[in-house]
Structure 1
Amino acid sequence: MSVKEMSSQELTKRVVGNKELFVLDVRNADAFKDWKVEGKHFEYLNVPYFDLLEGVEDILKFIPGDKEILVVCAKEGSSIMVADMLSEEGLDVFYLQGGMKAWSEYLEPVKVGDLNNGGELYQFVRMGKGCLSYMLISEGEAAIFDSARMTEQYLKYAEEAGVVIKNVFDTHLHADHISGGRSLAAQTGATYWLPPLDAEEVTFDFSPLKDKTLIKVGNSEVNIAALYSPGHTIGSTSFLIDDAYLLTGDILFIDSIGRPDLAGKAQDWVGDLRESLYSRYKELSGELIVLPAHFMSVSELNEDGSAAEKLAVLFELNHGLKVAEEAEFRKLVTENLPPQPHAYEEIRQVNMGKIQPHQEEEREMEIGPNRCAVR
């Protein structure tokens, strides 16, 4: 039988298509428990590579013969060796090209809508980490929101679309992943926008995002309106695009709400979080399509792979928007915080411009899932 490689793009198609897949993860148990390839109809077996050095005979009884088999490790090498051993036992096997590091970095562009008077809005789904970024295109220009550090993927997409990136925005100072905003702006000559209340310690120049800031993209009537919505950070800012879409950053997700503690100020910021969710957002049209900066689980994705839902639906279904009493809300938020993101303090330092790690160091900082939501 043969060993074949499966790219992150091919794996994403299986996730979005709700395909069945048997995943043999040969990383250590703690790494697997913390973070794995996720699919609605995936089955898993975790056996560390070092336990398979003498052969795979002991695990053959656990591996189905009627499903695609994917072997996964951190960087690829171990999964190729295990896949070869399984192949020698007569199984048809895939290994994940580039391992979990490649899976963490892959971005899948999904069109989420057409804009009035021309223009398009795309969501870039970082399936392996649950991060979401956006590209707005209108009349030959583009704006990017919450860029991942893999800026080459936005540059390639803009080139293929024949547009020039003119504006780059971060909804807040990120703590779970390294922003590509500054780098993207430097490479394109675009204006880099950041909420000033999140930027008091940054070491670089930026354009300050303030409440009700209007930025035009292209020659059409596509306006981006900034909406101050603190709570995840003190400067968190949402965006109203074309009076149709609401980019919520890390304040509101499809099935959860943002955590207020990543700067160590949960008790101080939980009130801001409630004000943003229960007052500022309540005043907006329920027909707005919410586009968050993260998703927590593939169960939140739509059939096309996007994470998007009407604001009115979220007020009906999202548990974080259904807590009437403020004291109960404070308790819900402060007592249901997940573990801190991996290396979040260092990531904040990078995003402030205070440290400049090498590429491999950046990859190590981002290992693991995002943990921006209250559970």
Structure 2
Amino acid sequence: MVKIMTTKELARKVKKHEETLILDVRNTDDFDNWKIEGGKVEVMNEPYFNLLDGVDPVVEKLEIEQEVIVVCAKGGSSQMVAELLEEAGYENVYSLEGGMKSWSEHLEPVKVGELSGGGTLYQFIRLGKGCLSYFVEANGEAAIIDTSRMTGIYEAFASEKGVTIKYVLDTHLHADHISGGRQLAERVGGTYYLPPKDAEEVTFDYTPLEEGKDIKVGDISIQPIYSPGHTIGSTSFIIDDRYLLTGDILFVRSIGRPDLAGLAEDWVGDLRNTLYHRYKNLSMDFIVLPAHYSFAEELGEGGQVSAKLGELYQRNSGLRVEDENQFRKMVTENLPPQPNAYEEIRKTNMGKISPEEEKKKEMETGPNRCAVER
């Protein structure tokens, strides 16, 4: 029997920066578009159809005693290739359970730090998608920010910690992944918050996020800061006067793109004002915690994605473009391809359409692509 590696086991290896060899047997176009990255991952691609007559195409690339994790789209082809490798004498071969589809949905919690009054802040890393969500708990209460579609893991985590989820917040109307915020709030009887300027077309009730109206989780304050640019309603959060959750406005190595609602020219000024003025008036000691990461190098030891705000003003090239026209050109012309099915995802997050679960999985396939490439 072929040995199986779960997405949880693989995530732990990536998070701990263990040397990991991936043999991806999807077709080259799919591989080039989206692959497993992070930590000390080495990944090679050899399409499945090249291995149907034997594993000779990869034998020279693999050492017989190496641990090899074979990956495909859903987990079927990888098992067949793993069997062929075992028949060829490789003993330390695994097939990734569920393939890239399961990898896309795995969430890995990482403790960010203790909060005043005994609270704790956690970052949930969606390694296969580059999405980051947050779990704030204090005094038996919890708030979740930028919730993924897989809401069960947050409920299980809250139960494990013995806390009640009271608030669910989205920093903006997402275009790269389906938010589970509203559904989670309904399931647990909590309050769902959304920036009102992003909610003009939503079909459901929500509580507006408003600057000046802090949200209390036990003794911890979550302070909304209006920070438009990625969307017209984008809102950041200051937590416990130490952490700045920037949504899709500011990342560790890049900045947010303003074009996913088709209004790049209209929103570029807002983006610049947020990054070059609004954030500059905040403490440079704030720890920036974004809603996404785009580069494997952004994963620090233990998997956490974070950086001090002051450090980002020194080394993030998106924050160092003094000429306004050059900045405008950068964020309207220097853009990666748009996220997969982003228009359908936006409509889903507005409540305008309700795709079946399999369709949702298909819509979310691929990287997040919320950043300006630099």
TM-score by length of structure 2 reads 0.97
Alignment correspondent of 2:298: 300
Alignment correspondent of 2:68: 69
Alignment correspondent of 2:226: 228
Alignment correspondent of 2:204: 204
Alignment correspondent of 1:271: 269
1:74 deviates by: 0.6
Tell me, yes or no, if structure 1 residue 29 matches structure 2 residue 31.
no
Q: Gaps (5+ residues) in structure 2?
A: none
* Residues 71-101 of structure 1: per-residue CA shift (max 9 Å, x gap): 0001001100110010011102011111001
CA distance in 2, matches of 1:355, 1:24: 37
Is the contact between residue 175 and residue 346 of structure 2 (CA under 8 Å) also seen in structure 1?
yes
* Residues 311-364 of structure 1: per-residue CA shift (max 9 Å, x gap): 111111111111111111111111210000000000001000011111110000
TM-score by length of structure 1 reads 0.97
Alignment correspondent of 1:89: 88
CA distance in 2, matches of 1:339, 1:144: 29
1:42 deviates by: 2.7
1:11 deviates by: 1.0
Runs (4+) of structure 1 exceeding 3 A deviation are: none
* Residues 8-44 of structure 1: per-residue CA shift (max 9 Å, x gap): 1111122122222221111111100000011343333
Q: Secondary structure at the match of 1:156?
A: helix
* Residues 113-157 of structure 1: per-residue CA shift (max 9 Å, x gap): 111122110000001110000000010000000000000000000
CA distance in 1, matches of 2:286, 2:66: 40
- Over the aligned positions, Cα root-mean-square deviation in angstroms equals 1.1
Alignment correspondent of 2:346: 348
CA distance in 2, matches of 1:162, 1:40: 32
CA distance in 2, matches of 1:329, 1:351: 30
Is the contact between residue 74 and residue 99 of structure 2 (CA under 8 Å) also seen in structure 1?
yes
CA distance in 2, matches of 1:234, 1:67: 50
Is the contact between residue 38 and residue 299 of structure 2 (CA under 8 Å) also seen in structure 1?
no
1:212 deviates by: 2.3
- Greater shift after overlay, 42-51 or 343-352? 42-51
Alignment correspondent of 1:165: 165
Alignment correspondent of 2:101: 101
Q: Secondary structure at the match of 2:116?
A: coil
CA distance in 2, matches of 1:46, 1:168: 40
Q: 1:252 aligns with which of 250, 253, 269?
A: 250
CA distance in 2, matches of 1:317, 1:65: 42
CA distance in 1, matches of 2:115, 2:292: 22
Tell me, yes or no, if structure 1 residue 195 matches structure 2 residue 195.
yes
Alignment correspondent of 2:9: 10
Is the contact between residue 16 and residue 39 of structure 2 (CA under 8 Å) also seen in structure 1?
no
The one-letter code matched in structure 2 to 1:138 is A
1:66 deviates by: 4.6
Tell me, yes or no, if structure 1 residue 46 matches structure 2 residue 75.
no
The one-letter code matched in structure 2 to 1:317 is R
The one-letter code matched in structure 2 to 1:46 is N
CA distance in 1, matches of 2:57, 2:285: 55
Alignment correspondent of 2:56: 57
Q: Secondary structure at the match of 1:91?
A: coil
CA distance in 1, matches of 2:58, 2:158: 46
Q: Secondary structure at the match of 1:177?
A: coil
- What pairs up with 1:211-222 in 2 under 5 angstroms? 211-218=211-218, 220=219, 222=220
Tell me, yes or no, if structure 1 residue 130 matches structure 2 residue 124.
no
CA distance in 2, matches of 1:107, 1:355: 25
- Greater shift after overlay, 286-295 or 60-69? 60-69
Q: Secondary structure at the match of 2:303?
A: coil
Tell me, yes or no, if structure 1 residue 153 matches structure 2 residue 153.
yes
CA distance in 2, matches of 1:359, 1:58: 37
1:165 deviates by: 0.3
Q: Gaps (5+ residues) in structure 1?
A: none
Tell me, yes or no, if structure 1 residue 242 matches structure 2 residue 233.
no
CA distance in 2, matches of 1:13, 1:66: 21
Q: Secondary structure at the match of 1:167?
A: strand
* Residues 212-270 of structure 1: per-residue CA shift (max 9 Å, x gap): 2211111x2x1111000000000000001111110000000000000000001111111
Is the contact between residue 193 and residue 206 of structure 2 (CA under 8 Å) also seen in structure 1?
yes
Alignment correspondent of 1:186: 186
Is the contact between residue 145 and residue 168 of structure 1 (CA under 8 Å) also seen in structure 2?
yes
Q: Secondary structure at the match of 1:304?
A: helix
Is the contact between residue 65 and residue 90 of structure 2 (CA under 8 Å) also seen in structure 1?
no
Alignment correspondent of 2:359: 361
The one-letter code matched in structure 1 to 2:202 is V
CA distance in 1, matches of 2:268, 2:105: 31
CA distance in 1, matches of 2:293, 2:64: 32
Q: Secondary structure at the match of 2:58?
A: helix
CA distance in 2, matches of 1:360, 1:265: 30
Q: Secondary structure at the match of 2:215?
A: strand
The one-letter code matched in structure 2 to 1:248 is T
